[in-house]
């Protein structure tokens, strides 16, 4: 990506909050809640389901975009705190505290409402975010220089490919020779997870989509976000920044698409080609958001009008300004409604979806309406916080 002119250290001024980043985060959260709460996961529209294994659907873009935005936010939040006089040692303690809280939230949403230690899942979306955040935030505190982040990104993607391609999997053999490359169970990531946890702790029993080894390339996704945050901190015009991000996005999509022929796109294994392809799409979405909001959203005199723009994009800011709160609420809500029984053996969720199917014979469309209902409930809950100017911070 176009980062060759990024200075080794960002300027010491407090960074202004970018509305375009908050809007994109809100859009990502809304879509995440939508796809995570299908009334019928089997009969939902293909775009609202993850790819079964190799391949890519719009749903597969949700988590990497959120992790990409974590990398951007880490740069801006760190610089904001430094500008207010915080020391790096105090910020590191904050990073540790935030990491622990994010991870514990992950255990909460994974186990709610029963908290059975025998089946507790220790991997997951929030645990992965916590680990990636800890690494990139710590690296940024050590040095804000972009070169080391780019080098680590290349090392993470190349290293993961080498591990998955050339390291024999015990009991299966060498990938690509003795066992198909990226075999569902005969890959190094799945094998390692089975050595660490019993099947009851893994999301898919023989493997986990947020497993330990695949956290390495996921770190690459967060690093792409951090490099983007550094680019946004330069003194270039907002138009130049948007063009640079769009160029980097197109490059990522192209490189990921080409690498796919040798290392297939696979969200569940978070392959290196997937990192580049999804990261490129995230960059393109950010460039579009910046263009629509920060470039085209100015007043006729060329000046920004943040109050008017905030009102215009308020529906997405409701989620974007309370991202973690919205996600946790959306993950706890199904656990609540599934334990409210309308009839013996029929919970509230089943009753509502069954009612939709009775009215709408198209199961995919009924599933979509069910998902939109969950999104609306979560949005209304976050709207209360937004109107009271309550933004949950960790």
Is residue 134 within 8 Å of residue 218, measured between CB atoms? no
User: Could you tell me the pLDDT band of residue 6, with boundaries at 50, 70 and 90?
Assistant: very low
- Predicted confidence band of residue 11 (pLDDT cuts 50, 70, 90): very low
pTM assigned to the model:
0.91
35-39, 145-149, 217-221, 389-393, range with the lowest pLDDT:
389-393
Task: For residues 223-233, give the mean pLDDT.
Answer: 97
Please tell me the predicted confidence (pLDDT) of residue 42.
80
DSSP of 186-202, one letter per residue? SSHHHHHHHHHS-GGGS
Task: Report the candidate in 6, 14, 121, 144 with the shortest Cα–Cα distance to residue 71.
Answer: 144
Q: What is the pLDDT of residue 3?
A: 40
pLDDT digits (tens, 9 = 90+) for 243-257: 999 999 999 999 999
Distance in angstroms (rounded) separating the CA atoms of residues 104 and 267:
24
* Lowest mean per-residue pLDDT among 7-11, 105-109, 118-122, 337-341: 7-11
- Please state, in angstroms and as integers, the Cα–Cα distance from residue 176 to each residue in 168, 187, 189, 257, following that order: 10, 10, 15, 20
Q: Is the pLDDT of residue 304 over 60?
A: no
Residue 107 confidence (pLDDT) above 50: yes
pLDDT digits (tens, 9 = 90+) for 156-183: 999 999 999 999 999 999 999 999 999 9
pLDDT-derived band at 298, boundaries 50, 70, 90: low
Mean pLDDT over 302-330 rounds to 82
What's the rounded Cα separation, in Å, for the pair 241 and 231?
Answer: 7
Q: pLDDT category, 305, cuts 50, 70, 90? A: low
Estimate to the nearest angstrom the gap between the alpha carbon of 123 and the chain centroid.
14
Query: What pLDDT, on a 0 to 100 scale, did the predictor assign at position 4?
Result: 39
Following CA atoms 358, 360, 365, 369 in sequence, which dihedral angle do they give, to the nearest 10 degrees? Answer: -70
- The pLDDT assigned to 299 comes to 53
pLDDT, mean of residues 36-44: 83
pLDDT at 297: 65
Q: How large is the average pLDDT for residues 39-47?
A: 84
Cα first-last separation, the chain: 31
- Which residues have C-beta within 8 Å of that of residue 61, sequence separation ≥ 6? 278, 281, 282
- Residue 55: the pLDDT is 95
The DSSP secondary-structure symbol of 205 reads: S
C-alpha 58/C-alpha 51 separation (Å) is: 9
pLDDT digits (tens, 9 = 90+) for 345-369: 888 998 998 899 889 888 999 999 9
The predicted pLDDT at position 301 comes to: 56
Q: What is the mean pLDDT of residues 275-291?
A: 97
3-class secondary-structure state, position 346:
strand
> How high does pLDDT run on average in the chain?
91
Please write the tens of the pLDDT for every residue from 371-393.
999 999 999 999 999 998 888 87
DSSP, collapsed to helix, strand or coil, labels residue 377 as helix
Question: Given this model, what pLDDT does residue 392 score?
Answer: 82
């Amino acid at each position: 990506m176009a980062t060759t002119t990024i200075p080794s250290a960002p300027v010491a001024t407090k960074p202004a909050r970018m509305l375009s980043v908050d809007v994109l985060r809100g859009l990502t959260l809304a879509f995440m809640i939508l796809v995570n709460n299908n009334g019928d996961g089997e009969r939902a529209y293909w775009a609202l389901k993850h790819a079964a294994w190799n391949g890519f659907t719009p749903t597969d873009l949700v988590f990497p975009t959120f992790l990409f935005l974590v990398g951007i936010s880490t740069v801006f939040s760190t610089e904001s705190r430094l500008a207010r006089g915080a020391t790096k040692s105090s910020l590191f303690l904050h990073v540790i505290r935030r990491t622990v809280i994010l991870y514990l939230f992950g255990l909460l949403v994974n186990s709610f409402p029963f908290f059975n230690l025998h089946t507790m899942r220790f991997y997951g979306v929030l645990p992965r975010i916590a680990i990636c955040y800890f690494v990139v935030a710590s690296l940024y505190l050590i040095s804000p220089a972009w070169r080391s982040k780019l080098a680590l990104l290349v090392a993470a993607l190349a290293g993961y490919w080498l591990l998955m391609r050339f390291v024999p999997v015990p009991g299966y053999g060498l990938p690509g020779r003795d066992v198909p490359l990226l075999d569902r169970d005969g890959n190094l990531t799945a094998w390692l997870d089975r050595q660490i946890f019993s099947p009851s702790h893994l999301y898919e029993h023989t493997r986990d989509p947020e497993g330990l080894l695949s956290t390495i390339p996921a770190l690459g996704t967060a690093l792409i976000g951090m490099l983007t945050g550094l680019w946004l901190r330069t003194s270039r015009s907002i138009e130049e920044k948007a063009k640079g991000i769009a160029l980097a996005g197109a490059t990522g999509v192209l490189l990921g698409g080409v690498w796919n022929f040798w290392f297939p796109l696979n969200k569940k294994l978070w392959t290196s080609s997937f990192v580049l392809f999804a990261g490129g799409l995230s960059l393109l979405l950010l460039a579009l958001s910046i263009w629509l909001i920060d470039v085209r959203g100015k007043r006729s005199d060329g000046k920004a009008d943040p109050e008017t723009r905030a009102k215009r994009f308020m529906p997405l800011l409701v989620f974007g300004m309370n991202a973690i709160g919205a996600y946790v609420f959306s993950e706890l809500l199904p656990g609540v409604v599934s334990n409210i029984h309308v009839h013996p053996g029929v919970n509230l969720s089943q009753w509502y979806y069954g009612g939709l199917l009775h009215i709408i014979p198209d199961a995919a469309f009924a599933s979509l309406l069910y998902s939109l209902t969950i999104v609306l409930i979560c949005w209304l809950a976050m709207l209360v916080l937004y109107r009271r100017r309550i933004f949950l911070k960790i």
